[in-house]
Amino acid sequence: MEKRKGHIPQPIRSDGAGWWDLGPRDVMRDMENPDLLVPPETDAGTLPNLKFSFSDTHMQLNHGGWSRQVTVRQLPIATTLAGVNMALTPGGVRELHWHQQAEWAIMLVGRARITSVDQNGRNFIADVGVGDLWFFPPGIPHSIQGLEQGCEFLLVFDDGSFSDLNTLSISDWFAHTPKDVLSANFGVPVSAFAHIPKQQVYIFQGSIPGPLETQKVPAPLGPVPLSFSHRLLAQEPLVFPGGTVRIVDSTNFPISTTVAAALVEIKPGGLREMHWHPIADEWQYYITGTARMTVFSGDGTARTFDYRAGDVGYVPRALGHYIQNTGNQSVWFLEMFRSDRFEEVSLNQWMALTPHQLVQQKFKCRTRINERIEKGKMGRSEISGLFILPKNE
Ligand code: MN
Ligand code: MN
């Protein structure tokens, strides 16, 4: 049957394999997943699902904001990290709380005020804007409040089974403590607790706080010694022919000892080079654009997934992968790792630094790559890692 180029994609490859999808179908989903509908011929075998969209998650709506999460419950392969997408209204508060997991975050829209106190009675109060990160170590209490424009951000926790609805919160603890104990603990009459909430508040509408200077609380022991926030966009990016990268881990954001990240831009036509990460699974969050990623897991198995803004992707440790920009705008996405440092192995770099005769023997026919090796053109860029390649004209 003739393959037509129409608005409705069909599961028919250019070589004629496949047939029309005549039955019940979700055309919108098929259009978002062209590489599931018509996989590249090089795809084969079975891999776990490596994609989940925040748009397919439950929205927790509150007066003051909303949240939704992608955890191991939604994406079972993602055991190392979990993500929460949250928005707060102007003045909206994610109440004072803590949890067993560390919290890494990036502001996506707007501004917020974040507060914390560490185990030595030193405090942290700061305003964060777009591209700013924060990190709250495990067990350290904190809060987040939207400023004038409100805000939206991504939280990443170093445990795939985390749930933001199962944290330890101040209102929940009050509600489950006898009032005479609260009275003794705070040295005020029992009547002071007559109207406290009967359960966890989670997110609530507050009033927009005054300027930061007016809200500072001087701590006798001073502020936290290592800042809990980091200005990622102020960091000079690594610039490659096909895009940019900003890497942040414990080497430049010292408090972040369990989460490492790279904020990657792939320009139209660009390719995030073939590589893998030796020490940690990769949890991805797509911010803009459309991309496809193919993951190779050995034994003849490879699978391709399509991603767009709001999608989470995942790559198990050490599996080979690459990411292509499939659209006409830049793809911005985060690569996240449960690790104190960012580490990857570049296929180009490996080949360039291996005896050339040995590498050439792999390719039975004469290839462009052999010519590049013979002419000594596996050059400086391969040796330092290419990271993002430009459009191949
Ligand atoms: Mn938290
Ligand atoms: Mn990667």
**Domain locations in the chain?**
57-230, 235-346
Superfamily of domain 57-230: Jelly Rolls (2.60.120.10)
Token digits of residue 229: 């926030």
The CA distance from 346 to 386, in Å, is 8
Catalytic residue ranges: 335
The rounded Å distance from CA 97 to ligand 1 centre is: 6
Q: Is residue 190 helix, strand or coil? A: helix
Q: Is residue 188 helix, strand or coil? A: coil
**Which helix (H) or strand (E) element contains residue 32?**
helix 27-32
The rounded Å distance from CA 61 to ligand 2 centre is: 33
The CA distance from 98 to 49, in Å, is 31
Q: Are 302 and 295 in contact (CB under 8 A)?
A: yes
The rounded Å distance from CA 133 to ligand 1 centre is: 13
- The answer to whether domain 57-230 and domain 235-346 are alike in fold is yes
Predicted confidence at residue 289, as pLDDT, reads 98
Token digits of residue 266: 């792939």
Residue 291: strand pairing partners = 307, 325
What is the number of the ligand closest to the CA of 282?
A: 2
The CA distance from 364 to 322, in Å, is 24
pTM of the model: 0.93
The CA distance from 75 to 86, in Å, is 18
Task: Report the phi/psi class of residue 318: left, alpha or beta, with left for phi > 0 and alpha for psi in -120 to 50.
Answer: left
What is the number of the ligand closest to the CA of 388?
A: 2
The rounded Å distance from CA 250 to ligand 1 centre is: 20
Burial of 273 (0-12, 13-18, 19+ CB in 10 A): buried
The rounded Å distance from CA 277 to ligand 2 centre is: 6
Who surrounds ion ligand 2 at CB < 5 A?
282
Half-sphere exposure of 120 (CA within 13 A, CB side): 7
What is the number of the ligand closest to the CA of 138?
A: 1
Q: Is residue 213 helix, strand or coil? A: helix
pLDDT in tens, the chain (393 residues): 344 555 799 999 999 999 999 989 999 999 999 999 999 999 999 999 999 999 999 999 999 999 999 999 999 999 999 999 999 999 999 999 999 999 999 999 999 999 999 999 999 999 999 999 999 999 999 999 999 999 999 999 999 999 999 999 999 999 999 999 999 999 999 999 999 999 999 999 999 999 999 999 999 999 999 999 999 999 999 999 899 999 999 999 999 999 999 999 999 999 999 999 999 999 999 999 999 999 999 999 999 999 999 999 999 999 999 999 999 999 999 999 999 999 999 998 888 888 878 877 776 655 666 666 555 555 445 555 668 888 876
Predicted confidence at residue 7, as pLDDT, reads 78
Predicted confidence at residue 3, as pLDDT, reads 47
Q: Are 345 and 304 in contact (CB under 8 A)?
A: no
The rounded Å distance from CA 371 to ligand 2 centre is: 28
What is the number of the ligand closest to the CA of 137?
A: 1
CATH number for the domain whose boundaries are 235-346: 2.60.120.10
Sign of CA dihedral 286, 289, 290, 293: negative
- Give residues with Cβ within 8 angstroms of 236, minimum separation 6: none
Count of all residues that appear for the chain in the document: 393
